Amino acid sequence: MAKTGTTTQGLRTAIERSGYYPALVAEAVEAAVGGEQIASYLVHQETTFDANEVRRHVTVLVLTGTRFIVSHTDEQAADNSSPTPYATTSTESVKLGRISSVVVSRVVANPESYTPGTLPREVVLTIGWGAVSRIDLEPAACGDPNCDADHGYTGNSTADDLSLRVSEAGDGPDAVRQTLAFAQSLSEATVATAAPAAGH
């Protein structure tokens, strides 16, 4: 389930509709947003199956005029640290100028007959701001198959602090549409933040 919009009341309603510890999630997100005006938001609930357990997770993304706020809430079964089930919620506030990438991957069926405006079957939104970077290295090689010299290593560094997957089959077409709308709002906000001020 994903919901998007532009008002504080709309955000609270979307969190309540998710049905996932709404009082806890709303309090954490609203505290992080503070008095700022909401430009856009996305609420996404995900259910996963882990062995014999069903685990739920909700991600709330909020865009204000100056920040990108991400909140995660997970539920946990009773364990050694707690005799009763519990939930953990965290929020991170990122200045828009720190966002280094907004990647939208779309999966479409029958690409040979694709019509512009057709909803993708699946969308993966990946946002990077430098908190988490992954480096993938592999031995470098040259084009000579008989060469056994050491050419060092080659690789790439990827920033993927947040990755959110939404599918039409699992989450519904509205969730896909709303994820694309939020991604566009965030992309536009990062461009506006990076643009130099007039007269400079």
Query: Strand, coil or helix: what is 97?
Result: helix
d(CA 22, CA 43): 11
Confidence of residue 149 (pLDDT cuts 50, 70, 90): confident
Average pLDDT over residues 112-131: 91
pLDDT digits (tens, 9 = 90+) for 34-45: 999 999 999 998
Residue 155 pLDDT greater than 80, yes or no: no
Q: State percent of the chain over pLDDT 70.
A: 81
The CB density around residue 177, as the number of other CB atoms within 10 Å, is: 17
Tokens of 184: 């566009």
Cβ-count burial of 87 within 10 angstroms (0-12 exposed, 13-18 middle, 19+ buried)?
middle
CA distance 177 to 118: 10
Question: What's the rounded Cα separation, in Å, for the pair 170 and 176?
Answer: 10
Average pLDDT over the chain, rounded to an integer: 84
Average pLDDT of span 104-125: 94
For range 19-48, the mean pLDDT? 91
Closest to 97 in 3D by CA, of 195, 11, 169, 168: 195
Q: Name the CA dihedral angle for 184, 190, 194, 196, rounded to a multiple of 10 degrees.
A: 60
